[in-house]
Structures are given as C-alpha cells and as structure tokens.
Structure 1
Amino acid sequence: MGLKTGGALWGLVCLGASAGVAAQNIYRCGNEYTNQARMAKERGCKLVEGGQVTVIHGAAGSGNRAAVTPQPAPAVPRANGAQQRARDSDARAILQAELNKAQAQLASLKAAYNEGSPERSALELRNPQGYLQRVDALQADMARQESDIASIQRELDRLP
C-alpha cells in the first residue's frame, strides 16, 4: 500500500467516524441533553429531531457555579452636623410646601363636590350619566388627595 492509498483509507475512517457521531440520537431531559438511549428511556426524555446540539462545558447549568458575593454599596459621604441640619430643613420646607398645595387642592375638590351634590352644568342637565361620572371622578380625586396628604404628613413626622 502506498502513501496515497493510506491517506485515502484514513480519510474514509475519519468520515465514517464523524458520520457515526452525527447519526447518534440526542435526547432532551428537561434542561439536560444526553446521547445515552437507555438513560433517556428511564428518565422519560424526548428525542431531539433535526438539528445539532452544541455542548458548552462550564456553562451556568453545569453545576460548576462559582459563589457570587454581592458587592457592598459605595460609601455615601456623611455630612457634618450643620450640613445635615440644612438638608433636613430644606426637606422639611419642600414637604411643607407640598402639603400646603395638596390641602389647597383638597379644599377645592370639596368645594366642587358640595357635600355630595355638585352643581349641574347645562350639558349635565341633558346628560345625567355625565353628571354621575363627574361625581365619581370628584370622589376618587378627593380620596387620592387625602391619601397624598397622609403620606406627606408621615414623611414630615419622620424628619428630625
């Protein structure tokens, strides 16, 4: 046998080996894949048809997970006493302005609501459904404003 014949024979052996590997059945068992038919049958795995499966060793699902430690939050520089008092007084002033604004809006809504019987407009005299919708909207707006006032008051109470 010459060198040419041996090379051709080696090429056929390699081709046959790769064809044998490609012809193997691949089974999917949940998030795992196997080519062992007996194990796949025992575990009730499904045959993967038409396509190739690429196995990447060391992936997240392989069980080789390294422990991930959370990084601490970056340190926030502390303010000295005078700076902190200034920040607190600014926060209090902003919250107080928001509280005053919310209370004024609630007073306006209560005036429009007129204790459950707001005045009807010309359109609402012809369309009673529009009146009922406006009354419902006023009630919802008042409830929202009362909730806002309560939350702003809680924030003010938290401040030193």
Structure 2
Amino acid sequence: MIGLSFGPFARRNFVVEPLDPADCPHLQQIHAQTFQHPWSEEAFHALLGQDTVFGFIARLEGRPRSAAGFVLARLVVDEAEILTIAVSPAMQRKGVGHALMDAVLRHLHGERARTLFLEVDQANSAAQALYRRLGFIKVGDRPAYYETREGRSAALILRRDLAPR
C-alpha cells in the first residue's frame, strides 16, 4: 500500500494499492461515470489477465472495497502507455489522479522503463494540466479521435521520458 501525503500538512482520505481482478466491478462503474463509451467489466478482466498490464486503485481510507479512482497501464520491454485513468466525479480535484499517476511512475521506475505515453482529450484541460505538472510533453495528436456529446474531439498524444535515451 502506498501512503499518501503531499507535504507535511496534507492529509488524504484515500490510499493507493495495486489492482486486483476482484476490483473490475468498481473499475467499470467509475469508467461509466467518467467516459461516454465505458468499458465493460469483462474488458477490464481481460486486460488485467495480460502479463504486460498493471494498474492501481485509490480506495477510500477505512473502506477496503471502495474505489475513488484507478489507472491501467501497459509495459512492453521499456515502453509504457496509460490505457485508461478515471476518477469518480465526487473525488475529482482531490489529488487522486496525481496519486495514481505517481504510483504508475514509481512502478515504471522500478521496472526501468524509458518512456511513458498517454492520450488525452484536447477538451480535458484539467487532465492536461496534471500531465504538464508531471512532465509530459505533446508529441502528436489524433484528429477527431474521441466521440463526445458535442461531436468529435482530438486526442493529444503525450510522452514523458523516464530514463535517458
């Protein structure tokens, strides 16, 4: 379990732990709250069954079967990608996304990964701000990638180098 406190006075009401297949119903529920086209519980089970996929879940402190958010990532050789990250609407802007990404970065450091990629909706300014603070840079885009209620939106492709190339 990764304890969380950002600074001497900060106190978080969640903890971050590695994902377990038993978490799939929670993952599907949060994904459905945050994405227009949510993944199924079966899709999460299939992903977690792959050797290259790992992830973390933020649980409300004192509630071991709760979920405030999660992240799924894939590592192949020395290159990683965020497959999806979602934070329940009630827990957004409370440090959950940052803590989840920090857990991924720590894991990848231990695995000696060199690069981490992700895609983010160009309309998601809050997520983009988080990724900038974490050292990601834009390396490309995918026009009309996401289907939204307002039409189509581009995906920005971001990269963070984790080790010297």
TM-score, normalized by the shorter chain, greater than 0.5: no
Q: Which has the higher strand share?
A: 2
* Structure number, greater radius of gyration: 1
Query: How does the TM-score come out when normalised to structure 2?
Result: 0.17
Query: How does the TM-score come out when normalised to structure 1?
Result: 0.18
